[in-house]
């Protein structure tokens, strides 16, 4: 009994140790979860988040170009203008048509005139009937019938004018839409910056003919950049990386080192053959002497701090 009891205790101890090993992640080869620790990633690449080639939306002659390489643009700043003279004429004509159609649609004169005509026709019919009551045959049967039909036609005319008013309202809305479309055609000939950024390329000059869709300016955003790196799956689980604060360090000349703060915004669901997965962080940039310190293409170090 003592031997069996000893063997049983040994088996239980072995099973408990194995379960503990699996629970700690050794058997599954998973990184252990615990207090977040700082991880340093080497050879991280700085890249752009926003890199836009801003096109001409309408074809025509580029009548003005108000930017050059190196210019800092605010959002909605005017970049260039495509000849809009013909488009403006179309807009003015469409605006006049819309105004005329709206004036007709809003007018109630035709309906008021139809109502007055109906009242007059009814009055004439009643007078003829009254005359016949006073003196039989004063108004012939044929003439009396004509007066009755004229009153009915005048009543129908009221409904017709009301229907025509509804139709004119629909026509007016159509002309309003055409005027708005013409306005958009004019506005689209003024090319504006969709975001704040720096002009890095201007492949065209004022006076040239441009086709719709041809790039006018290349605009990049440099105040906020992306830093990409790779994390070893065996060192840090993906669940512990998302939203982690990061510190990016850049080595400058003469031993100068600058740091930039940011946060992890993407963790790839794919693990590379070497057991690494890609992450990127968005980092705030700084300017010094009118120049950005952190630049796309730099090879930098990135530290994942212990905080989220």
Confidence at residue 307, expressed as pLDDT on a 0 to 100 scale: 67
pLDDT tier for residue 151 given thresholds of 50, 70 and 90 = confident
Q: Which of 26-30, 111-115, 202-206, 271-275 has the lowest mean pLDDT?
A: 26-30
Report the candidate in 43, 38, 45 with the shortest Cα–Cα distance to residue 236: 38
Q: Name the helix (H) or strand (E) containing 306.
A: none
| pLDDT value of position 16 | 44
Selection from 41, 89, 74, 65 nearest residue 210 by Cα: 65
> 250-292, pLDDT tens digit by residue?
999 999 999 999 999 999 999 999 999 999 999 999 999 989 9
Tens digits of residue pLDDT in 4-50: 443 333 333 443 443 344 344 444 444 555 556 688 999 999 999 99
The dihedrals phi and psi of 80, each to the nearest 5 degrees, come to -160, 165
For domain 53-82+190-219, the CATH architecture is Beta Barrel (2.40)
Distance CA 86, CA 79 (A): 21
The tens digit of pLDDT for each residue in 173-185 reads 898 898 888 888 8
In this model, does residue 77 exceed pLDDT 90?
yes
Give, in words, the CATH class of 31-49+221-304: mainly beta
Give residue-wise pLDDT tens across range 43-66: 999 999 999 999 999 899 999 999
Least confident of 30-34, 138-142, 213-217: 30-34
Report percent pLDDT > 90 for the chain: 52
- How far is the C-alpha of 209 from the C-alpha of 191, rounded, in Å? 15
Please, is 122 exposed, middle or buried when counting C-beta atoms within 10 Å of its C-beta (0-12, 13-18, 19+)?
Answer: middle
User: Is residue 208 predicted with pLDDT exceeding 70?
Assistant: yes
> Is residue 162 within 8 Å of 111, Cβ to Cβ?
yes
pLDDT of residue 85: 83
Task: Convert the pLDDT of each residue in 191-200 to its tens digit.
Answer: 999 999 999 9
124-140 burial, b for 16+ CB within 10 Å, e for fewer?
A: ebeebeeeeeeeeeebe
pLDDT range class, residue 211, cuts 50, 70, 90? very high
Report the pLDDT value the prediction gives residue 263, as an integer from 0 to 100.
Answer: 95
The answer to whether the beta carbons of residues 248 and 262 sit under 8 Å apart is: yes
């Amino acid at each position: 009994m003592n031997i069996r009891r000893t063997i049983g205790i040994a088996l239980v101890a072995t099973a408990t140790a194995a379960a503990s090993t699996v629970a700690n992640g050794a058997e599954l080869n998973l990184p252990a979860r615990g207090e977040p620790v700082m991880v340093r990633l080497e050879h991280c690449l700085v890249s752009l988040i926003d890199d836009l080639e801003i096109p001409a939306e309408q074809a025509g002659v580029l009548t003005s170009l108000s930017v050059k390489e190196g210019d800092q643009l605010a959002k909605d700043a005017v970049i260039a203008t495509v000849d809009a003279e013909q488009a403006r004429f179309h807009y003015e004509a469409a605006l006049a048509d819309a105004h005329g159609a709206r004036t007709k649609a809003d007018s109630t004169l035709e309906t008021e005139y139809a109502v007055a005509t109906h009242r007059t026709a009814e009055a004439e019919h009643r007078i003829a009937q009254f005359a016949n009551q006073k003196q039989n045959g004063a108004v012939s049967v044929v003439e009396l019938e004509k007066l009755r039909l004229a009153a009915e036609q005048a009543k129908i005319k009221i409904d017709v004018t009301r229907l025509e008013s509804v139709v004119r309202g629909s026509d007016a809305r159509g002309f309003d839409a055409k005027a708005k479309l013409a306005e958009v055609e004019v506005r689209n000939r003024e090319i504006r910056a969709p975001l704040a950024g720096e002009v890095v390329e201007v492949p065209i000059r004022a006076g040239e003919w441009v086709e719709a869709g041809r790039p006018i300016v290349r605009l990049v955003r440099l105040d906020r950049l992306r830093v990409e790196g790779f994390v070893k799956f065996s060192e840090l689980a993906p669940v512990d990386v998302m939203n982690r604060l990061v510190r990016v360090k850049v080595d400058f000349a003469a031993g100068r080192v600058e740091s930039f703060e940011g946060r992890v915004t993407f963790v790839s669901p794919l693990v590379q053959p070497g057991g690494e997965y890609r992450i990127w962080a968005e980092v705030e940039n700084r300017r010094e002497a009118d120049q950005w310190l952190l630049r796309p293409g730099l090879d930098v170090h990135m530290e994942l701090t212990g905080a989220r």
